[in-house]
């Protein structure tokens, strides 16, 4: 499997609100045997990863994939002990601050939820595995992007600092925007009309594909539709929404040039033909980059007859849109769940550079030859990608002088 297959999902005419275009995806029949539930969190989460690293982000909710139909696990009871981070810094006595009454008060805190693994199978009170899998939507994919060659240089070349050799790219961070901060998105999702049989949507901002979201059942979509405003969106999507203008609405024109439309049945057939023509144009033009790109899939978990994957694009240069995301397929390879995150141009360039460095064993000179450019240009790209702190300044400067003298 190298591509995203949306077979079984049909496109319906788009709905527009300002610069936001929402394209419904409907199924004739739900995917049998799988349901998705929502699990609410407090917001800020820290995920323990298998390699002893920690992923920290805004995590408002998790999804529970259930292939038995059981309800999702209830939230922790009120008063359960949780970690937290304080807002700012204060000086006070007795471990707290004093209010107007002179009593010690705890400082305001940001609750931090500790989560074990990005995807983890649920167990009952007796420790037996259940037919339910909790995973963190989008964060599974984002963590995969952040972990791209996270170990750093595999060979101790002079140009890399000791910090880079010892700790790799840690810490590594990327910026994203919550959906409610993307101009126009909250209003568009609020007034969006849900179609019968709808199991997903394609979200466009300024007619650029921002995200795709697919679930196995129409009831799941109605339940999870509000989560789209809490999802994370890339810098490019935010810029398009902020600076882009309104987009044209979907319109269909039916002409009776040869007198072919004489009855309501003729009119209905012509309207359906217009819908089919628009769907073909959409799949062939607007969503082409998403559907025609060859991805690298990594299976994160096998959940009964279903497989959970995260995928990465090829990080090709050339201006084509590229997405990371997650996918659940059934035993026939059909898409049951899909969620994507569009990368910015800077993130694509960073992924491209990291892969070329890794292919050349992190040797800057060999990387320059592979890219057909100079040593100085590779150093500039490393620094512009935010990795300049990993370079040994004195060794790089010495090598640059040698290249100039040569």
Q: Could you tell me if 5 and 174 are in contact, meaning their C-beta atoms sit under 8 angstroms apart?
A: no
Q: Tell me how far CA of residue 7 lies from CA of 25, 283, 321, 331, 340, in angstroms.
A: 11, 12, 21, 14, 17
**Could you tell me which residues come within 8 angstroms of residue 46 by beta carbon, excluding any fewer than 6 positions away?**
54, 55, 56, 83, 112, 113, 114, 115
Angle, nearest 10°, between helix axes 375-382 and 364-371?
Answer: 100
Per-residue pLDDT tens digits for 322-380:
999 999 999 888 899 999 999 999 999 999 999 999 999 999 999 999 999 999 999 99
In this prediction the pTM is: 0.85
Sign of the Cα torsion 166, 388, 368, 352 reads positive
Backbone phi, psi, residue 287, to 5°: -105, 20
pLDDT for the residue numbered 256? 64
Sign of the Cα torsion 261, 266, 272, 277 reads negative
Is the per-residue pLDDT at 84 higher than 60? no
Q: Could you tell me if 362 and 353 are in contact, meaning their C-beta atoms sit under 8 angstroms apart?
A: no
Reported confidence tier of residue 75, pLDDT bands at 50, 70, 90: very low
Per-residue pLDDT tens digits for 380-403:
999 999 899 899 999 999 888 887
pLDDT for the residue numbered 87? 53
pLDDT for the residue numbered 91? 58
Cis peptide before 171 (omega within 30 of 0): yes
Candidates 402, 373, 404, 358; CA nearest to 160 is: 358
Largest Cα separation within the chain, whole Å, is 89
Helix (H, G, I), strand (E, B) or coil at 76: coil
Is the per-residue pLDDT at 73 higher than 60? no
């Amino acid at each position: 499997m190298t591509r995203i297959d949306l077979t079984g999902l049909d496109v319906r005419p788009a709905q527009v609100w300002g610069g936001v275009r929402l394209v419904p995806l409907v199924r004739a029949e739900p995917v049998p045997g799988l349901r998705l539930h929502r699990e609410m969190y407090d917001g800020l989460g820290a995920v323990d990863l298998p390699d002893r690293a920690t992923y920290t982000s805004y995590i408002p909710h998790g999804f529970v994939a259930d292939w038995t139909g059981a309800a999702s696990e209830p939230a922790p009871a009120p008063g359960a002990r949780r970690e937290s981070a304080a807002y700012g810094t204060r000086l006070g006595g007795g471990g707290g601050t004093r209010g107007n009454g002179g009593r010690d008060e705890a400082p305001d805190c940001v609750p931090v939820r500790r989560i074990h693994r990005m995807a983890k199978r649920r167990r009952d009170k007796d420790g037996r595995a259940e037919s339910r899998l909790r995973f963190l939507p989008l964060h599974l994919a984002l963590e995969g992007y952040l972990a791209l060659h996270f170990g750093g240089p595999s060979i101790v070349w002079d140009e890399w600092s000791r910090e880079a050799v010892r700790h790799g790219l840690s810490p590594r961070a990327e910026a994203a925007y919550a959906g409610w901060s993307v101009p126009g998105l909250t209003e568009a999702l609020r007034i969006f009309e849900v179609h019968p049989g709808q199991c997903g949507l394609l979200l466009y901002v300024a007619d650029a594909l921002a995200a795709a979201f697919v679930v196995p059942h129409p009831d799941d979509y109605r339940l999870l539709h509000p989560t789209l405003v809490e999802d994370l969106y890339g810098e490019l999507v935010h810029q398009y929404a902020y600076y882009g203008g309104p987009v044209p609405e979907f319109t269909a024109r039916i002409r009776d040039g040869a007198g072919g439309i004489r009855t309501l049945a003729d009119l209905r057939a012509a309207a359906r033909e217009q819908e089919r023509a628009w769907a073909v144009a959409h799949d062939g033009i607007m969503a082409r980059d998403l559907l025609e790109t060859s991805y690298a899939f990594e299976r994160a978990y096998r959940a009964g007859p279903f497989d959970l994957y995260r995928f990465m694009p090829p990080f090709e240069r050339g201006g084509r849109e590229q997405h990371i995301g997650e996918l659940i397929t059934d035993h026939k390879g059909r898409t049951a769940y899909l969620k994507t995150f569009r990368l910015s141009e800077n993130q694509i360039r960073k992924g491209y550079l990291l892969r070329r460095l890794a292919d050349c064993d992190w040797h800057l000179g060999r990387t320059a030859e592979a890219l057909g450019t100079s040593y100085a240009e590779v150093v500039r790209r490393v620094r512009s990608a935010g990795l300049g702190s990993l370079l040994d300044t004195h060794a790089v400067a010495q090598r640059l002088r040698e290249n100039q003298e040569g």
